[in-house]
Amino acid sequence: MKRIFSVLVENRSGVLSKVSGLFARRSFNIDSLAVGETNDPDVSCMTIVSSGSKQTMEQIEKQLNKKLDVIKIKSFENWQSVTRELILIKLRYNKSNREEILSICTLAGAEVVDAGKRTMMIQLCDTPEKVQMLLDLLAGISIVEVARTGTLALQRCVDTEK
Amino acid sequence: MNGAEAAAKCLELAGVTTVYGYPGVAICPVFDSLLNTDIHTVLVRSEANAAHAASGMARISGKPGVCICTSGPGATNLITGIATAYMDSIPLVCITGQVNSDLIGGDVFQEADITGAAESFVKYSYLVRKASDIPRIFKEAFHIASTGRRGPVLIDIPFDIQNQEVRKFDWPEEVNLRTYKPTFYGNPMQIRKVVTALENCERPILYTGGGVHLCQARDEVRAFSEKFNIPVVSTMMGIGAMPSKHPLYMGMAGNNGNLAANKAINESDTVILVGARIADRAVNNPGKMMANKTLIHIDVDPAEIGKNAHCDLPIVGDAKAIFTELLKEEIHMGDMRGWTTELQTYRKKKSRRVTPDKYTDPAYFVQKLSSAMDDNAVYVADVGQNQIWSCANVIMREGRFLTSGGMGTMGYSLPAAIGAKMADRDTQVVSVSGDGGFQMAMMELATMNQENLDLKIVVLNNSTLGMVREAQKFSFGERYTMVDLNGGPDYEQLAKAYRLKYLKIENNDTVDSTVKKFLRTKGSVLLEVIVDEDGIVRKGDRK
């Protein structure tokens, strides 16, 4: 199973390595990881997507809870949350495939953010599935570079209103 | 006041009486400041042993042990000791010197990223950034080490921070960590469920782990067992929770355990696991063994519950607090006499001798030794065959049994015995090692002499690394390699070199009289016991 862990941690040096080190040491998977400060500058939010057995998911939460730099953990499944990834793709293009690329962009909702004579850069901010779809659609195009964030996720509003 | 003086004052305020360590320039300010306190500093002969000694002291005193070492190699040498304590949940506060703050990361002389290197072996670690943080950090460190699931906490103090001015020494009255609130009292609803489970079971057992000793719950657990007539089995770390000859005690379970204990687990319908983590050596294939039973797991660390086996009824909290509550409950249990009597019949099967008469039989020796020891004596076993023979044959009364159970660190026994003795000089402390483990720690004989300690030291000498040799005998077709210890010292000469009395047992004939003489002799004694290199710990049914 896949699970998303939204982990609030003390915003101190070394915390990222402590948390990622825990995953490495206990052989837990990290499918994706995104870290950033929250509205409180003393607190960072780490969004970790992991996969494994139900028992492993339970251990991840318990072991994270033991870390003294971890303030709070929320864990949820994909359908319980809004997820986003941002991808930047630099492509090599020519006259013959320019229209094709632009139509793929329109289809996927990606936009062109920079362009030169032979290369252009497109961006997409969407669910991990849509981001993957864009990459699949671009399979025949010559991709120069890709930069992609980890998944960001927050629990859906209906679930958090109690 | 500078950072080092603040650190020394913190140690005093934390009630520390003794610290173990090894200096280097990077930690000199702290040792210098300790000169102005009543804290006794003990110079060990190798850093890992500072942590082992602190561990031995912590396990007897119940308070965090403290060790202080220098930066770089001092700190990295300490890691094995820290990891050993971590695996057995021993409370330690480990302090290391570090290079100047502005040089960190520059690969300067004796620099090591010790907080990074030790991360997976500590409960928490601090790299001190400013001297004024020292009081808060020390207060937190002692709190973290000694509450919840005990464990080592590391404080790394750069040299310049030790010398930095502390304008205001602010020792917090209380620790307030928003991320650390360990559960102490058991949930009353869960405790009620235990009562119901016990009222509906026929063959319950208590399975005690090291947690029973760590939260000093021995009396409560014993009282509970006696009140409701529930048989007790133990892990290696739990040995001593019950006296060996107690009618309700069935012995140590597991791979190296005895028949009655393993039968007790196999045939039980309800297991109350207390402060034990269902480790691989204690319970072979836990999923299978715990199937079709009600497993009640009492542990202070929620992550241990459900980690290695399914759990029907978890109770998170301190074992002493939980058993105090359980003792107040009225539990209408069925008649346990049939169940306990059945188990007692297995217990009567006599343990067999393991080696020919030419040598000392280790099982017989351990029985004789532990029987002759004081009722409240501390028995510190090392790691290897000596440890398994000790566990299986030691006769416990009101004393303690210490060993490195989780990590299996060779050379633990002698330094831990030093710490145990220093925690209470009136208690008899006996260190038992094989000749392999002893040679990893024998430099600490000097520490023992320097502190005028009266330790009784046993070396079971078979001139080989017995446990590994045994593995090679059974799993590698007797292709022996890397196990020959024939280059070892002449132990009589060694004892002489360290000004110790020396005794020797060649075979079973003199065990009785020599053991008595050994324990009666005033001052430290080294007892060499000749055992067979072909002696094995494994039983017939083990693969």
The confidence score (pLDDT) of residue B281 equals: 74
Work out the minimum CA distance from B110 to partner chain A, whole angstroms: 21
Q: Residue A10: which of B123, B179, B301 has the nearest Cβ?
A: B179
Query: Residue B351: pLDDT band by 50, 70, 90 thresholds?
Result: low
Note whether B179 contacts A71, CB cutoff 8 Å.
yes
Work out the minimum CA distance from A2 to partner chain B, whole angstroms: 19
Query: Residue B353: pLDDT band by 50, 70, 90 thresholds?
Result: low
Work out the minimum CA distance from A134 to partner chain B, whole angstroms: 39
Range name among A29-43, B131-145, B289-303, B349-363 with the lowest pLDDT average? B349-363
Note whether B144 contacts A63, CB cutoff 8 Å.
no
Instruction: Kindly report the three-state secondary structure assignment for every residue of B18-79.
Output: EEEEECCHHHHHHHHHHCCCCCEEEECCCHHHHHHHHHHHHHHHCCCEEEEECCCHHHHHHH
Q: Does B365 touch chain A (CB under 8 A)?
A: no
Helix axis angle for B73-87 and B47-61, nearest 10°, is 30
Res. B543: pLDDT tops 50:
no
Closest chain B residue to the Cα of A16, Cα to Cα: B116
Note whether B180 contacts A70, CB cutoff 8 Å.
no
The confidence score (pLDDT) of residue B541 equals: 38
Q: Which tens digits make up the pLDDT trace of B188-239?
A: 999 999 999 999 999 999 999 999 999 999 999 999 999 999 999 999 999 9
Note whether B302 contacts A10, CB cutoff 8 Å.
no
State the Cα–Cα distance between residues B50 and B33, nearest whole angstrom. 19
Torsion sign (Cα): A80, A48, B147, B398: positive
Closest chain A residue to the Cα of B309, Cα to Cα: A55
Residues of chain B contacting A65 with CB distance shorter than 8 Å:
302-303
Residues of chain B contacting A25 with CB distance shorter than 8 Å:
120
Burial class (CB in 10 A: 0-12, 13-18, 19+), B410: buried
Q: Which tens digits make up the pLDDT trace of B281-316?
A: 777 777 777 888 999 999 999 999 988 888 999 999
Note whether A58 contacts B306, CB cutoff 8 Å.
yes
Q: B97: Cβ–Cβ under 8 A, 6 or more apart, which residues? A: B24, B25, B26, B27, B28, B30, B69, B70, B71, B74, B75, B156, B157, B158, B159, B162
The confidence score (pLDDT) of residue A160 equals: 53
State the Cα–Cα distance between residues B239 and B401, nearest whole angstrom. 6
Work out the minimum CA distance from B178 to partner chain A, whole angstroms: 7
Interface of B with A in 302-321 (CB under 8 A): 302-303, 306-307
Residue B352: beta bridge partners?
Answer: none
User: In 3-state terms, chain A is what percent helix, strand and coil (to 5)?
Assistant: 35, 40, 25
State the Cα–Cα distance between residues B345 and B241, nearest whole angstrom. 21
Query: Residue B537: pLDDT band by 50, 70, 90 thresholds?
Result: confident
Q: Which tens digits make up the pLDDT trace of B127-149?
A: 999 999 999 999 999 999 999 99
Residues of chain A contacting B179 with CB distance shorter than 8 Å:
10, 67-71
Q: A2: Cβ–Cβ under 8 A, 6 or more apart, which residues? A: A31, A49, A50, A51, A77, A78
In angstroms, the first-to-last Cα distance of chain A is 27
Range name among A8-22, B273-287, B454-468, B510-524 with the lowest pLDDT average? B273-287
Note whether B127 contacts A18, CB cutoff 8 Å.
no
Res. B355: pLDDT tops 90:
no
State the Cα–Cα distance between residues B180 and B303, nearest whole angstrom. 14
Which site among B115, B179, B278 would you substitute to test the A interface, given the most A Cβ atoms closer than 10 Å to its Cβ?
B179
